[in-house]
Amino acid sequence: MTHHANGGSRVARRTLLRLGAASAGSAALSASVGSAAPPALAAAPEFTVVNAKYNALYQRTGTYYTKDPQWISWARPRLTWPQANEKVPELTVVIPTVQTNWLDAWRKFAADPGKLGLKYNLQQVSEARWLDVINLHTHGDIEVHSAILRPERVDPAEWLTSRAYGLDRRNYGEWVNQQYDALIEAQVAESDPVRRLKLVQDAQRILADDLYITQLGWGPGVIEAYNSAAWDGVVQTRGFGIGSFNAFHTFLRARPKTARRKMIVGIHSLLETTSIIAAGNNMRAIGRMIYDRLAYMDENLKVIPWAAESWTRVDDRTWDIKLRPGMTFHDGKPVTIDDLQFTFDFMLRWERGNFWTANQFLQKTEIKDAANGILRATFKQPYGQFESYFLQLNVILPQHIWQNIMAEQGVGDDPMRLRIDKPIGSGPFKFGRYQKDAELQLIADKTHFSKPSVDEVWAVATPSIDGLLGRLQSGDIDLIESSDTHLTPSQAKQLADTSGITIVRTPDLNWLHGVPRPSNLPWRDYEFRRAWHHSIDREFLVKVVWEGAGRIPLGNTFLVEGNPWNNPDLPPVPPYDLDRARAVLKAAGYSWADDGRLVYPPPSDANFRKRVQQVCKDGYTWGGLEMIG
């Protein structure tokens, strides 16, 4: 199968697991699902797992799980059988203070279940603290998260693996459904896109059927405004809109209507770093306008060749990559196949961050045909995410600048410490003038194979949304970078009457979801999860908080309708129905105390004990933490 410059595949992207970083590495992919009697976990012997395979998660290095006193203090009572007349404990939800929309929604999500006897504890913390507690799994009962779309995140494994696979540390509910995990392990090794799609869709069905996550809302939709008096030819990319640096087609193809050939983009904040190795959200996007990635996605999310002119599958583990001829770095040096091989060698030797998720399964590279620019990449195992993730994420570094940089800068073995004051790549834009926290100039490379129509793009930091709107109305900026700044319908209405401003609406592929903890009570009881799902008023989020800009989810999946990997045949999300929720709880043996609080079924309730030990819905097999005693 060969892909040429005007072709591509609709396949999506991504390397399974940050399992190398998240748990036991690639060995976890080949481990048997069956197991002998579960050994105790070393650091806290009262904790055991049903399937010994999943000890790899709890025994990882660092102060996590059974090595973390905070995790132990949370998990121990939630894995202890309830006493007679014991109330279901308060349900803790931690929300970053910057996410005011989340808080607005959760105030109602927490108030409504009061009618079911549930009590919530909503905690607001700084964003840094929120990241700390979710990474340590000390966040309480429900982990709340939204998606931020990047090209490589169209691939199903970005979410189906990293947020739900039993051995991934970002599986915040520690859900271990062994049938689901077997499908995840199979899909990462399936290089045939049709067969991989079937595996991915089957995995989504289990995710929805076992009621792990709950999608609260799809979106909100991307609402943008731009200076249509000055610019024509903006490109609307599915899920991204017109103004995202992650999908930079507009910045390549927009045409000036006036003599001004400089496009000015308002953005909340500029670069966290100018190093592509240590990049956060903004530099990940802008960096790939400076450093060419190997493949890209068009406006319909179809994989297209970029710095790689084509690629050919040799076998399940091997691909030949043909470098596009005639490219040059921004300092005038030619881009060669040696630069591409050097980049992979550098990443495999030093990098364990953003690029490692794609490169951890790469075994070796060799130059097969230097004259024609062909590099052979061999992977450690069959690899299904070559096109949709590996090529999307990887860039080309100039060997003549980077070959001795680690020793020259004395950073030891940590490339995150490198200082890259003026990035030099081969991308369609050169790094120009930069004033930290104020403005960044990107200069069009008119020799690039996809040369921009503009001469310059300026990213100008404006911290507040009111400031961005004001500058757009006054003509000081041409559009707002949309990766994390979507307009609300009321803000769009405010701009609609401004002469020369055009509003563009794009359905989003993002979402806001809640992840409970099936590994702990009360979530171990499938019937409790079933009742809880009926307590969520998604219409309030979509119609009130998001002002109608989002969508009610059609199913509990990370892969939103419009994503090429979405399963359109999932069971619908449980409707908001407190009466039905109460009936489910009552039928499952729950009762209510005099103060109205929900009470666990009695210790003698054999059905309750069976459900709590089974965790998963009938037909599926639990492999994670067992109850204590």
443: enclosing H helix or E strand: strand 439-444
Peptide bond into 220 cis (omega under 30): yes
Mean pLDDT, rounded, of the chain: 91
Which two tokens mark 51? Answer: 């399937």
Contact 459, 243 (CB under 8 A): no
Long-range CB contacts (< 8 A, 24+ apart) of 63-72?
63/136, 64/136, 64/137, 64/169, 65/41, 65/137, 66/41, 66/42, 67/43, 68/136, 68/138, 70/136, 70/138, 71/136, 71/137, 71/138, 72/44, 72/47
What burial letters (b/e) apply to 246-256, b meaning 16+ CB within 10 Å? Answer: bbbbbbbbbeb
Which two tokens mark 373? Answer: 């620019």
pLDDT for the residue numbered 6? 36
Coil, strand or helix at 458: strand
- pLDDT at residue 36 tops 90: no
pLDDT for the residue numbered 191? 82
120: enclosing H helix or E strand: strand 120-125
Nearest CA to 123 among 154, 102, 137? Answer: 102
CA dihedral over 13, 15, 16, 21, signed as positive or negative: negative
Residue with structure tokens 């990035």? Answer: 423
**What are the domain boundaries of the chain?**
2-7+292-416, 42-219+510-614, 222-283+428-506
Question: Alpha-carbon dihedral of residues 219, 221, 222, 228, nearest 10 degrees?
Answer: 180
Whole-angstrom Cα distance, residue 136 to residue 265? 37
What percentage of residues in the chain have a pLDDT greater than 90?
A: 81
Measured CA angle at 183 (ends 177, 344), to 5 deg: 115
Question: How would you list the strands of the sheet with 439-444, edge to edge?
Answer: 429-435, 439-444, 456-461, 262-267, 479-480, 222-227, 501-506
Question: For 270-283, what is each residue's pLDDT tens digit?
Answer: 988 999 999 877 89
Which amino acid belongs to residue 135? Answer: N
- pLDDT at residue 31 tops 50: no
Which two tokens mark 247? Answer: 């999908």
Which two tokens mark 58? Answer: 């709890």
pLDDT for the residue numbered 43? 67
Domain 42-219+510-614: CATH class, spelled out: alpha beta
pLDDT for the residue numbered 39? 52
Crossing angle between the packed helical segments 489-496 and 465-474, to the nearest 10 degrees: 20
Q: Answer with the residue of higher pLDDT: 71 or 37.
A: 71
Q: What confidence category does residue 119 fall into, taking pLDDT thresholds of 50, 70 and 90?
A: very high
Question: For 325-368, what is each residue's pLDDT tens digit?
Answer: 999 999 999 999 999 999 999 999 999 888 888 898 899 999 99
Q: What confidence category does residue 249 fall into, taking pLDDT thresholds of 50, 70 and 90?
A: very high
- pLDDT at residue 5 tops 60: no
- pLDDT at residue 28 tops 50: no
pLDDT for the residue numbered 13? 28
pLDDT for the residue numbered 111? 97
pLDDT for the residue numbered 40? 56
What percentage of residues in the chain have a pLDDT greater than 70?
A: 93
Question: For 551-562, what is each residue's pLDDT tens digit?
Answer: 999 999 999 999
Please tell me the least confidently modeled range out of 60-74, 374-388, 521-535.
60-74
pLDDT for the residue numbered 1? 42
- pLDDT at residue 469 tops 80: yes
CA–CA distances in Å: residue 456 to residues 142, 234, 256, 430, 591 = 45, 15, 11, 9, 66
pLDDT for the residue numbered 83? 97
pLDDT for the residue numbered 188? 87
Whole-angstrom Cα distance, residue 386 to residue 538? 36
Q: Which CATH architecture has domain 2-7+292-416?
A: Alpha-Beta Complex (3.90)
Q: What confidence category does residue 19 fall into, taking pLDDT thresholds of 50, 70 and 90?
A: very low
For 476-502, what is the mean pLDDT?
91
Whole-angstrom Cα distance, residue 356 to residue 609? 42
Whole-angstrom Cα distance, residue 150 to residue 273? 18
Region of 326 on the Ramachandran plot (φ > 0 left; ψ -120 to 50 alpha; else beta): left
Whole-angstrom Cα distance, residue 455 to residue 288? 18
Question: Which H, E and C letters describe 139-156, residue by residue?
Answer: CCCEEEEECCCCHHHHCC
- pLDDT at residue 465 tops 70: yes
Q: What confidence category does residue 61 fall into, taking pLDDT thresholds of 50, 70 and 90?
A: low
For 302-316, what is the mean pLDDT?
95
pLDDT for the residue numbered 162? 86
For 59-71, what is the mean pLDDT?
86
At 255, give phi and psi (nearest 5°). -115, 135
Peptide bond into 522 cis (omega under 30): yes
For 180-186, what is the mean pLDDT?
96
Please tell me the least confidently modeled range out of 23-32, 137-146, 208-217.
23-32
- pLDDT at residue 525 tops 60: yes
Measured CA angle at 509 (ends 209, 485), to 5 deg: 135
- The CATH T-level fold of domain 222-283+428-506 is D-Maltodextrin-Binding Protein; domain 2 (3.40.190)
